[in-house]
Structure 1
Amino acid sequence: MAIIRQLYVQVLIAIIIAIVVGLTAPEAAVQMKPLGDAFIALLRMMLGPIIFCSVVLGLTHVRDMRQLGRLAFKSLLYFEILTTLGMVVGFIAVNVFQPGAGLHAGNLALNESVTRLSNSASNFTAVGFFLSIIPTTIVDAFAKGEILQVLLISVMVGAALSVGLKKDSAILHGIEEGQDILFRMLGFIMKLAPIGAFGAMAAAIGTHGSGTLLYLGKVVLLYWITAVLFVAVVLGSVCAIMRLSLLKLLRLIREELLLVLGTASGEVALPRLMQKLEQAGCDGSIVGFVLPAGYSFNLDGTGIYMAIAVGFIAQATDTPFTYGQQVAVLAVMLLTSKGGTTVAGGAFIKLAATLQSVRVLPLNGLGLLFGIDRLMATCTALTNVIGNTVAVFVIARWENALDTAKLDAYLAGTAAPVADEAEAARAAIVGAGE
C-alpha cells in the first residue's frame, strides 16, 4: 500500500509496536534504548553543518545589513513575547487548579539523579550564559554541537560573504554543494526514523511500566491540557492575525511531530524542518536565522513547563509562594529558560537552574517531577517545535518573504517532496533567495 511508504505512517506504526513491546516485555524493551540514542546522535551530528550552510546561504541574499538587524530585532521581540505569554499561561493554570495541593511532601530527600542534575545547573549565571555563546575556537563550536555558537559563527560568515560577494564565488558554490550533500545524507538517516522512534519509546515504556501511559497525576494532565490550549488559542490567534492556518502548518510538520513524540527531543526535527520550511515557501534567510535561534530563545513549551513545575513544587511542599514571588521567579525564568539543548530532560535542568538561582522553593521538590519527566519532556518538545514552526511563518509573513502559492502547492503534494534528490534541494535554496 502506498500509504505505508509515508514516513509518518511508518513512525506511527513503530511507536504503537514500541508501546506493545514495552508493556508485554519490559526487560527486552529497555534493551532497545541504544536504537533511539543512535538515531538522535546521527541527527545531532547533522545540526551544526546544516545550520551553518543554511544560514550562510540565506544571508548571502541579504545585501542590506539593516535588513539583517531588522530581522534579528523582530525575531527576538516575537520570541520574548510568546515565551512570556507561555509562562503567564502556565502560572495561571497552576494557580487555578493547584495540582500539588494536599500532597504535603516537604520532607523529601534528594536522590542521586536529582542531586547530579541540580549540581550541573548550580553554576548558571547570566554573564556565563552570554559568554557561552562565544566559542573557544570556530572548530570547537561544531565539535560540541552548540546551536547558539554555531549560529553566531554562521551569521558572522554569512554577513561577511554578503558584503561584496561575487555571484560566481567559489566559496558560495562550495557551500551550496556542501548543503546538497548534507541533505542527501539527511535523507539516508531519515529512513531509520521508525527504528529510532521504536527504540526510544520502547525503552521509556519498559523502564516506567504502564504508569508511563496511565499516569493520571494532576500536574501531568494539567501540563498537557495547558500546552494544547496554548497552541490552539495563543498560537492559533497569532496565525489568524497573520492570515495563516495553524491546521495547515500542523499538517505540514506532522512527520516531524511524530518523530518528536517518539523521541521526546526537538532536535530530531530541526534538520528536516529547515529544509521543509524553505520548500514550503519561506525565504531561506528567514528559515536559516529564525529556526535555529528559536531553538534557544523561543521555547514556549519550556516556559509553560517551568511555570507549572515551580507552582506545583510550592504547593506540594507547602511552601508559601506569593504572586509577587511568582513574578520575580518569572523574571528569572525569562533568562534560565533560554539556551541549552532540546533533548529530553533539558527543561528539567533549566528548572534546576531556576531553583538554584532564586532559592525560594526547596530543591528537593525536583524529586517529585523526576519520575514523570519523560511525559513532561515529550509535551515540551512538541510545543517548542510547533511554536518555532509558527515563528518562522510569522516572521516570513511579517517580512513579506512568504510564498503562499508555494505553501499551498507543497501541501497539495505538487511540490518537490523533502526526500527528493539534491537537485530539488538546491532548487528550493535558489528559489528562496529570488
Structure 2
Amino acid sequence: MKLNPNNEIQPNKSLLYTITTNLTFWVLIAIIAGVLLGHFHPKEGMQMKIVGDAFISIIKVFIAPIIFLTIVLGISGMGDLKKVGRIGIKALLYFEVVTTFALAIGIAVAYFIQPGKIDRTGLDMEDATKYTTAAPKEFNWLTFFMDNLTLQVLLAAIIVGIIVNYLKQRESVIAVLYKLSGYVFKALKWVMYLAPLGAFGGMAYTIGKFGLHTLLPLGKLMLTVYVTMAIFIFVILGSIMRYYKMSIWSFLKYIKAELLIVLGTSSSEAALPNLMEKLEKMGCSKPVVGLVVPTGYSFNLDGTSIYLSMSVIFLAQLYDVHLSFAEILTIIGLLMITSKGAAGVTGSGFIVLASTLTAIGKIPVEGLAFLLGVDKFMSEARAITNFIGNGVATIVISKSEREFVAVEPILDEQQQF
C-alpha cells in the first residue's frame, strides 16, 4: 500500500502478497496451529512451552534499554521548560491526567467484566507461587527498589534525562541517543518476526495443558479491550472535544487515511508526519504541534494505558492472585511511569507489560505466554487509540492556549467541526 499526493491509499501489490507478508496473518496461522496441536496432541503441545518461553526471554532483554532510551529522550527532547513555558507544562499535565484516567478505566472495566475468571476445574493456573517468591510480611520500599531492575532503570533514565536537558552538547547527545534508539527498535522489529513462533509455543502449551475452554477468557479480553477503547474515544475524548465545541466524529473523518495507515502497520508512528501536517492545516499553531505531538508519543499513550492495566488485572484473575487496594494503587503508579516507555512501535507495549509484571513481583511473568497469542491483534486498537489521543491533545492545548487560528476551510460542510 502507498499514498498518492492526495493522501489516498492505493494498492501496489496483489492481495495475496499483502496478506502473506503481513505479520498478523502469520501470527493467526501460528495460533491456529498451536490450538490444533494442543487439542489433538496435548503432550506434544505442552512440550512447545520452551518455544514460547524463549521468545519471552528475548523480549525481556529489551526492557531496560527501551525504557531508558525512551524516557531520557522524552525528557531531554522537551528542551528548556522555561522556554516552552506554559504550553509544555499544560501538555504534560494533560497527558498525565488523561493517561491516569485511562489506566483507572482499564482496571475498573476489567474488575467489572472479569475476563480472566474461568472455570478452573482441573486447572492448576491458580498456583502462582510456583512462579513468584512470597512477598515479605513487612513491605520495605528500599528493599523493593533494590531488588527491582525496572524501577532502577526508570530512576536512572529520569536523572539522565534531566542532566542531558541542560548539557551544552545537548543536541549532539540527543542525536546519539536517537541513533542508538533506532538501532534498538530495529533489533526489536526483527525480534518481532519471531512472534508467530512465540504465539505457536504459548498457545500449544496453553491448550495442551488447560484445554480449549481457555480460549474463552482470551476472546473475552480482546472484546473487553476493544469495547473499552471505543468508549474511551467516543465518550471521554469525545466529551473533551465537545467542551471545545468540536466533533470527534468529524476529526476521525478528517484523519481517516492516517487511521488506515496506523491500522495496517500497528504503529501510530507510521502516520506521525501526516498527522502533524493535517493538524497545522486545521489551524493548530506549528510550535504547539511540534511540541505536543512528538512528546505525546512518549507521555500520552491512552490506548497502551488501557491495555496494560486491563492485562495486569486479567492475569491476576487468571492466576487467582488477590490484589489489595494498596497493590492496585501501586500498579497504577508503576504504569503511570512504565507506560511512558511504551513508544508507538509494535511490540513495545508487550515489553512494558513484561516490565510491569516483573516490578510487581506477584503476578507470574510466565502468564505473558497466554497473552502473546492475542497481543498482536490488540496492538491495532492500542495504536489507533494512541494516535487519536495525541491528535485530540494537540487540538485541546491549541484551543486552550488560543493558539488555534482558523485557516482556509479544508473540510466540506458535512465534516465541519
> TM above 0.5, one fold?
yes
- Quote the residue 2:286 is aligned against: 284
**1:44 alignment counterpart:** none
The residue that corresponds to 2:367 in the other structure is: 365
Alignment correspondent of 1:118 = none
Cα gap change, 1:67 to 1:246, in 2 (>3 Å) = farther
Of 59, 77, 90, which aligns to 1:74? 90
Kindly provide the CA deviation profile for residues 337-358 of structure 1, in whole angstroms up to 9, marking residues without a partner as x.
1134210111111111211222
State the partner residue of 1:420. none
Distance of aligned partners of 1:11 and 1:270 in 2 relative to their CA distance in 1, 3 Å threshold: farther
Asked if the contact 2:283–2:405 (Cα under 8 Å) also holds between the matched residues in 1, the reply is yes
Partner in structure 2 of residue 229 of structure 1:
231
SS at match of 1:397: helix
Equivalent AA in structure 2 for residue 71 of structure 1: I
- In structure 1, C-alpha distance between the alignment counterparts of 2:365 and 2:312, rounded to whole Å: 10
- Give the gaps of 5 or more residues in structure 2: 31-72, 132-147, 183-192, 204-214
Comparing 298-307 with 135-144, which one deviates more in the overlay?
135-144
Correspondence for 2:118 among 92, 102, 110: 102
How many angstroms does 1:255 deviate by? 1.5
Residue 139, structure 1, aligned to residue 181, structure 2: no
Deviations, residues 386-417 of structure 1 (Å, cap 9, x unaligned):
000000000000011112344xx12239xxxx
For residue 311 of structure 1, what is the aligned residue in structure 2?
Answer: 313
Q: Secondary structure at the match of 2:10?
A: helix
Q: Distance in 2 between matches of 1:260 and 1:16?
A: 21
Tell me: CA distance 1:132–1:380, structure 2 relative to 1, closer, same or farther (3 Å).
Answer: farther
Q: 1:97 to 1:122 in 2, by over 3 A?
A: same
1:132 deviates by: 4.7
Question: Could you tell me how far 1:8 is from its partner in structure 2?
Answer: 4.0
In structure 2, the partner of 1:299 is: 301
Q: Select which of 91, 105, 112 maps to 1:89.
A: 105
When structure 1 is superposed on structure 2, of 321-330 and 5-14 the one drifting more is 5-14
Which of 256, 259, 262 is equivalent to 2:258?
256
Q: 2:180 and 2:397 mapped to 1: Cα distance?
A: 20
Equivalent residue in structure 2 for 1:326, among 314, 325, 328: 328
CA distance in 2, matches of 1:334, 1:237: 23
Could you tell me which of 104, 127, 132 is aligned with 2:155? 127
Give the whole-Å Cα distance in 1 for the aligned partners of 2:237 and 2:197: 34
Amino acid at match of 2:155: V
Q: Structure 1 residues 253 and 328, CA, compared in 2 at 3 Å: closer, same or farther?
A: same
* 2:272 corresponds to: 270
| TM superposition shift of 1:377 | 1.5
The answer to whether the Cα contact below 8 Å between 1:103 and 1:317 also exists between their aligned partners in 2 is: no
> How far did 1:333 drift?
0.9
Unmatched segments (≥5 aa) in structure 1: 31-50, 111-120, 150-201, 414-434
Spell out, residue by residue over 1:170-213, the C-alpha distance to the aligned partner (whole angstroms, 9 max, x if none).
xxxxxxxxxxxxxxxxxxxxxxxxxxxxxxxx99999979x9xx
Report the CA distance between 1:309 and its aligned residue: 0.3
Residue in structure 2 matching 1:382, options 384, 388, 408: 384
Task: Indicate the residue corresponding to 1:351 in structure 2.
Answer: 353
- Report if the CA contact (8 A) 1:281-1:404 is conserved: yes
CA contact 1:99–1:219 (8 Å) conserved in 2 = yes
Matched position secondary structure for 2:235: helix
State the match for 2:406 in structure 1.
404
Aligned residue in 2 for 1:395: 397
Deviation at 1:107, TM superposition (A): 6.0
Native 8 Å contact 1:235 1:246 kept in 2: yes
Displacement of 1:10 after TM fit? Answer: 2.2
For the residues of structure 1 that align with 2:12 and 2:320, how far apart are their CA atoms?
41
Q: Which residue of 2 aligns with 1:37?
A: none
1:68-90 alpha-carbon deviations (Å, 9 max, x no partner): 31111110111111001101110
After superposition, the C-alpha distances for 1:87-106 in whole angstroms (9 at most, x for unaligned) are 11101110011111126534
Counterpart residue type for residue 411 of structure 2: L
Q: 1:328/1:340 Cα in 2 relative to 1: closer, same or farther (>3 Å)?
A: closer
The 2-side partners of 1:206 and 1:335 are apart by 30
Tell me if structure 1 keeps the 8 A contact 2:107–2:309. Answer: yes
> SS at 1:337's partner residue?
helix
SS of corresponding position for 1:321: coil
Residue-by-residue CA offset, 1:259-304 (whole Å, 9 max, x unaligned): 1111111111112222221122110110010111111111111110
Give distance in 1, aligned partners of 2:316 and 2:347.
21
